[in-house]
Amino acid sequence: DIPLHRGLDRILIDEETLQARVRELGREISEYYGDRSPLLVGVLTGAFVFMADLARAMAMPLRVEFMAVSSYGQATQTSGVVRILKDLDRPIEGEHVLLVEDIIDSGLTLEYLIDVLQRRNPASLRLVALLRKNKPRSVPARADWVGFEIPDEFVVGYGLDVAGRYRNLPFVAVVKPDAVLGK
Ligand code: PRP
Ligand code: MN
Ligand code: MG
């Protein structure tokens, strides 16, 4: 057993539960695409772990690319402004794009990315998020597949960070309030 890191309050989703759900999502999404080969677009940095596991849980030969955006940076509250730090390398016109996110919190990041990608005329655009916070939002949080609905608490692990740390945890955990404040 990995001892719980200092700074963590409790494990919210353990490794086994995460892995089982990701495999299930992989099967469901594979069925949906059938013979079509999607282009998985991962949103760096948070989605890198989920993307790697999801891609391996999908049946068909597919391609992967990454975009890097940031709205939180070192902060724990969204700045409300999403910036593209790295764009896709190629046009996506005519592609079946599956956007892969780790979490929908305010919904602003996904809202912004949907808008940007839809303008590029993909054949289809679908969204999968591992986690979605259960909270009232100013923007609709539309996703075609969601791994887990979670309470509105600050979570880390499996790609998610606080100030860049904890992304490597194989589970999702709630951080102690003082860790969120950077003490
Ligand atoms: C986090 C997370 C999502 C986004 C969700 O990214 O990975 O991309 O915030 O929040 P929202 O729904 O309120 O927009 P962050 O900006 O922290 O960058 P990171 O992925 O590099 O950690
Ligand atoms: Mn992110
Ligand atoms: Mg972050």
Q: Has residue 79 been placed in a domain?
A: yes
Secondary structure (3-state) at 130: strand
Q: What is the dihedral of CA 66, 103, 161, 163, to 10 degrees?
A: 90
Write down the pTM of the prediction: 0.94
- Catalytic residue, candidates 35, 105, 144, 161: 105
Decide if 113 is inside a domain. yes
Instruction: Please give the tally of structural domains in the chain.
Output: 1
- 169 part of a folded domain: no
Q: Name the residue of 43, 71, 133 whose CB sits within 8 Å of the most ligand 1 atoms, as the mutation to test its pocket.
A: 71
Domain annotation covers residue 36:
yes
* Residue 92 confidence (pLDDT) above 80: yes
- Is the pLDDT score of 2 beyond 70? no
pLDDT computed for residue 146 by the predictor = 98
3-class secondary-structure state, position 155: strand
Residue 144 within a domain:
yes
Peptide bond into 76 cis (omega under 30): no
pLDDT above 70 for 130: yes
Nearest CA to ligand 1 atom 7: 46
CATH number for the domain that contains residue 123:
3.40.50.2020
pLDDT over 70 percentage in the chain:
95
Task: State mean pLDDT over 44-62.
Answer: 96
Instruction: Please report the pLDDT score of residue 72 as a whole number.
Output: 72
What pLDDT sits at residue 181?
61
* Lining residues, ligand 1, CB within 6 Å: 43, 45-46, 70-72, 78, 101-109, 161
- pLDDT of 12 > 70? The answer is yes
Which one has a higher pLDDT value, 141 or 64?
A: 64
- pLDDT at residue 183 tops 50: no
Is 39 contained in some domain?
yes
Query: What domain range includes position 78?
Result: 15-150
CA distances, 58 to each of 35, 53, 64, 87 (Å) = 12, 9, 12, 24
Higher pLDDT, 61 or 141: 61
Q: Give the tens place of pLDDT for each residue, 106-116.
A: 999 999 999 99
Residue 64: is its pLDDT beyond 50?
yes
Q: How many CA atoms lie within 13 A of 12 on its CB side?
A: 22
Tokens of 121: 């005329």
Asked, for residue 78, whether it belongs to a domain, the answer is yes
Domain-located, residue 4:
no
Rounded to the nearest integer, the mean pLDDT of the chain is: 92
